[in-house]
Amino acid sequence: MSVSDRYRRIAEGQDLDGIMRAAIVTRRRADLDVRAAHEPASNAAEAQMVSIWCEVLGLDDVGVGDVFFELGGDSLHMTQVLARVRHRFGRDVPIEAFFDGPTVRHLARIIAGPATPAAEDGDLTHMLDLVEHVSTSALRDDTGADASPVAKAPASTGPVSAGPISADSGRTS
Amino acid sequence: MNDSAVRIDTFGVVTLRRPAALARCLTSYIVNAARHGRTLRCVVCDDAAAPQDRAACRDVARATAKVYGCAVQYIGLEEKLIVLRELIRTRDVPPDVVPFAFFDVERVGASDGGNRNVLLLETCAAPILMADDDTICMTRRPLGYRDAASARQTDEGERWDPSDVWMLGVGGDERDACRAESLDFFGEHERWLGRSIDAASTIRVTTNGTVGDCGWGSPSPFLFLRGSSLARLTASNDRYDDYTTSRRVVRAASRVTIAARTDDFMSGCFAVDARTMLPPFPPVGRGADRVFASLVAKCCARARWAHLPIVLPHRPHQPRTFWRGEITRSAAGIDLCTLLCALLDVIPPPAYASDAERLAWYGTHLEEIASPSTQAFEAAAVDAVRRTLAWQIDALEGALASRAARATQFRRDVRAYLAALRRTSARADLHVPLDLRGDWPAEEARAVIQRIVRRFGQLLTHWPRLLHLRREMLHDSHVLAGR
Q: What are the pLDDT digits (tens) for B383-413? A: 999 999 999 999 999 988 877 667 889 999 9
Q: What proportion of chain B, given as a percentage, has pLDDT over 70?
A: 97
- CA torsion sign for A41, A43, A44, A46 is negative
Per-residue pLDDT tens over the stretch A67-115: 887 888 776 677 778 888 887 877 777 766 776 678 898 888 888 776 6
Can you tell me the distance from the alpha carbon of B355 to that of B300, in angstroms, rounded to the nearest whole number? 5
CB contact B442 to A (< 8 Å): no
Per-residue pLDDT tens over the stretch B326-385: 898 899 999 999 999 999 999 999 987 899 999 999 999 999 999 888 899 999 999 999
Do residue B89 and residue A156 have CB atoms under 8 angstroms apart?
no
**B258: amino acid identity, one letter:** I
Enumerate residues 101 to 140 of chain B having a beta carbon within 8 A of any beta carbon in chain A.
102-105, 107, 122
Residue from B324, B455, B469 whose CB has the most chain A CBs within 10 Å, to mutate? B324
pLDDT of residue B205: 96
CB contact B471 to A (< 8 Å): no
Do residue A168 and residue B58 have CB atoms under 8 angstroms apart?
no
Q: Nearest residue on chain B to A147, judged by CA atoms?
A: B85
Do residue A170 and residue B95 have CB atoms under 8 angstroms apart?
no
Alpha helices (H) in chain A, listed in sequence order: 3-11, 16-35, 44-57, 75-89, 95-100, 104-112, 121-140
Q: Nearest residue on chain B to A121, judged by CA atoms?
A: B49
| Residues constituting chain A | 173
> Which of B75, B78, B474 has the CB atom closest to A163's CB atom?
B474
Least Cα separation, residue B340 to chain A (angstroms) = 24
Answer yes or no: is pLDDT of B459 > 60. Answer: yes
Answer yes or no: is pLDDT of B263 > 70. Answer: yes
Answer yes or no: is pLDDT of A52 > 70. Answer: yes
pTM of this structure: 0.81
CB contact B85 to A (< 8 Å): yes
Least Cα separation, residue B159 to chain A (angstroms) = 29
Answer yes or no: is pLDDT of B277 > 60. Answer: yes
Least Cα separation, residue A9 to chain B (angstroms) = 33
Answer yes or no: is pLDDT of A18 > 60. Answer: no
Answer yes or no: is pLDDT of B17 > 50. Answer: yes
Can you tell me the distance from the alpha carbon of A158 to that of B9, in angstroms, rounded to the nearest whole number? 23
Per-residue pLDDT tens over the stretch B86-137: 899 899 999 999 999 999 999 887 889 999 999 999 888 789 999 999 999 9
Residue B304: count of CB within 10 angstroms of its CB: 25
**Residue B207 vs residues B70, B76, B203, B283, B389: alpha-carbon distances, Å:** 25, 26, 11, 21, 27
pLDDT band at residue B324 using 50, 70 and 90 as cut-offs: confident
pLDDT of residue A9: 52
pLDDT of residue B482: 39
Contacts of A114 in chain B (CB under 8 A): none
Contacts of B65 in chain A (CB under 8 A): 169-172
Do residue B78 and residue A35 have CB atoms under 8 angstroms apart?
no
> Which of B51, B65, B318 has the CB atom closest to A169's CB atom?
B65
Q: Which residues in A133-170 are b (16+ Cβ under 10 Å) and which e?
A: ebbebbeeeeeeeeebbbeebeeebbebebbbbbbbbb
CB contact B51 to A (< 8 Å): yes
Residue from A78, A126, A165 whose CB has the most chain B CBs within 10 Å, to mutate? A165
A-B C-beta contacts closer than 8 Å: 162
Can you tell me the distance from the alpha carbon of B466 to that of B228, in angstroms, rounded to the nearest whole number? 44
End-to-end, the C-alpha distance of chain A in Å comes to 73
Answer yes or no: is pLDDT of A22 > 60. Answer: no
Contacts of A170 in chain B (CB under 8 A): 62-63, 65-66, 72
CA-based nearest residue to B350, from B359, B341, B337: B359
Answer yes or no: is pLDDT of B18 > 80. Answer: yes
**Residue B111 vs residues A15, A133, B105: alpha-carbon distances, Å:** 49, 20, 9
ipTM: 0.83
